[in-house]
Structure 1
Amino acid sequence: MPDPGPEPVAPQGRGHLSVGFSAAACLAGIVASALLLVDYVRPAAVFCGGGGGCERLRSTTYAAVLGVPTPAFGLLGFCAVAVALCFSGPRARLVQLALAALGAVVATFLLAVQLRLSVFCRYCLVADIGCLVLLVGSVFRYRLGVDATFRFAVPTLGGSFVLAAAIPMGVGFTRPLPPPEAQGPVPELVKREIASAPPGVVTVIDFVDFECPFCRMTHEGFAPVLERHKGRVRVIRKQVPLTRIHPRSMDAALAACCGEKLGKGAEMAEALFSTPPDDLTREGCEKLATKLSLPPAEFRSCFDDPSTRARVDREIAEFKEAGGRGLPTIWIGAERFVGAQDPAHLEAAIRRASGG
Structure 2
Amino acid sequence: MSDRALQRTMLVLTLIGIGIAGYLTYIHYRGFNPICAVGHGCERVQNSEWAKLAGVPVPLLGLIGYVGIFVSLFFRGELARMATAGMTILGFAFSMYLTYREIFTIEAICQWCVGSAIVMTLLAIFATLRVLRADDDEAYASDLAVEPEHEPV
Instruction: Provide the TM-score with structure 2 as the length reference.
Output: 0.79
- Aligned-pair CA distance for 1:49: 6.1
Equivalence for 1:59: 47
| Paired residues of 1:21 and 1:133 also in contact (CA < 8 A) | no
Number of residue-to-residue matches in the alignment = 134
- Looking at CA atoms only, which structure, 1 or 2, has the larger radius of gyration? 1
126, 129, 139: which one pairs with 1:137? Answer: 126
Q: For 1:107, what is the secondary structure of its paired residue?
A: helix
Equivalence for 2:28: 40
- Aligned-pair CA distance for 1:18: 2.1
- Aligned-pair CA distance for 1:38: 1.0
Q: Does 1:122 align with 2:106?
A: no
Identify which of structures 1 and 2 has the higher relative contact order when contacts are C-alpha pairs closer than 8 Å and 6+ apart: 2
One-letter amino acid matched to 2:46 = R
Q: Residues 312-354 of structure 1, C-alpha deviation per residue, up to 9 Å, x if partnerless?
A: xxxxxxxxxxxxxxxxxxxxxxxxxxxxxxxxxxxxxxxxxxx
- Aligned-pair CA distance for 1:140: 1.0
| Paired residues of 2:44 and 2:108 also in contact (CA < 8 A) | yes
Unmatched 5+ stretches in structure 1: 1-12, 147-356
Q: Does 1:30 align with 2:25?
A: no
Q: Which has the higher strand share?
A: 1
Matches within 5 A, 1:158-173: none
Equivalence for 2:71: 83
Equivalence for 1:349: none
Q: Does 1:112 align with 2:112?
A: no
Equivalence for 2:148: none
- Aligned-pair CA distance for 1:125: 1.1
- Aligned-pair CA distance for 1:104: 0.8
Q: Residues 192-224 of structure 1, C-alpha deviation per residue, up to 9 Å, x if partnerless?
A: xxxxxxxxxxxxxxxxxxxxxxxxxxxxxxxxx
Equivalence for 2:3: 15
| Paired residues of 1:18 and 1:141 also in contact (CA < 8 A) | yes
- Aligned-pair CA distance for 1:143: 1.6
- Aligned-pair CA distance for 1:21: 3.2
Q: Which runs of 4+ in 1 moved over 4 A?
A: none
| Paired residues of 2:36 and 2:110 also in contact (CA < 8 A) | no
Q: For 1:86, what is the secondary structure of its paired residue?
A: coil
Q: Residues 27-62 of structure 1, C-alpha deviation per residue, up to 9 Å, x if partnerless?
A: 1111100010011111223x5269611111112111
Q: Which has the higher helix share?
A: 2
Cα separation, 1, equivalents of 2:9 and 2:126: 5
| Alpha carbons of structure 1 residues 39 and 14: separation in structure 2 relative to 1, 3 Å | same
Matches within 5 A, 1:224-303: none
Equivalence for 2:60: 72
One-letter amino acid matched to 1:43 = G
Q: For 2:35, what is the secondary structure of its paired residue?
A: coil
Cα separation, 2, equivalents of 1:110 and 1:56: 13
Instruction: Provide the TM-score with structure 1 as the length reference.
Output: 0.35
| Paired residues of 1:28 and 1:126 also in contact (CA < 8 A) | no
Cα separation, 1, equivalents of 2:44 and 2:73: 34
| Paired residues of 2:42 and 2:109 also in contact (CA < 8 A) | yes
